[in-house]
Amino acid sequence: MFKRREFLKYAIGQCTLGTVALCAPTLLLANTRQTAKPQTLPDRQLAFYHLHTGEKLSTTYWSEGEYIAQELQHLNYLLRDHRTGEVQAMDKNLLDLLYVLQQHVDKQGAYHIISGYRSPKTNAKLRQQSKGVAKRSLHMQGKAMDVRLPGVSLKHLRQAALQLKAGGVGYYPKSNFVHIDTGRPRFW
């Protein structure tokens, strides 16, 4: 499993010189003179459309080197367990992973959310209905999402996520989504 620092090193390594600032939030691109000001890093924005609730959210969740608490709360609410209404803090690394993934596929737009956070109760119920639901799903920790990105083929989204080697990637073409998580790198 990549630790945050290892993930950022990897992301930096995957970036071209022109996109390093997009991929490395802590990288300062200024020269070393004391009077020089560091370049401003771009804001991180994500947009989502939740297929089960019909809710939409477009947000800048990171700006000026910091996560924006109020925007994270909005994201946590949107990505709640839509069956029970329970809200869980989503892993910031997952949000960053989705941001980097979107830069990697070079496609703006709203991720379609099939599943974000799942309560243990919901997860147990889904396990009874399907063999494809893990007993200790990372959805229950706010570390996984099932998504698709309109305008990007599912195969391409999966391949791009695999190339990042930053977590788990599940491919569900019959259900039309890719599972992305911040667990150890693996695929199915």
Q: Which two tokens stand for residue 165?
A: 């080697």
Determine the pLDDT at residue 159. Answer: 98
* DSSP alpha helix (H) spans, the chain: 4-14, 20-23, 69-78, 92-105, 120-129, 154-164
- Write down the domain spans for the chain: 42-187
Determine the pLDDT at residue 18. Answer: 34
What is the C-alpha to C-alpha distance for residues 174 and 184, in angstroms, rounded to an integer? 25
For domain 42-187, say whether CATH 3.30.1380 is its number: yes
Q: CB of 182 within 8 A of CB of 91?
A: yes
Q: How confident is the model at residue 1 (pLDDT cuts 50, 70, 90)?
A: very low
Determine the pLDDT at residue 131. Answer: 79
pTM attached to this predicted model: 0.79
Determine the pLDDT at residue 186. Answer: 95
What digits encode the pLDDT tens for the residues 149-186? 999 999 999 999 999 999 999 999 999 999 999 999 99
Determine the pLDDT at residue 133. Answer: 85
Q: CB of 139 within 8 A of CB of 83?
A: no
What is the C-alpha to C-alpha distance for residues 181 and 171, in angstroms, rounded to an integer? 12
Residue 130 neighbours by CB under 8 Å, 6+ apart: none
- 168-172 and 66-67 strand pairing: unpaired
What digits encode the pLDDT tens for the residues 57-114? 999 999 999 999 999 999 999 999 999 999 999 999 999 999 999 999 999 999 999 9
Q: CB of 188 within 8 A of CB of 170?
A: yes
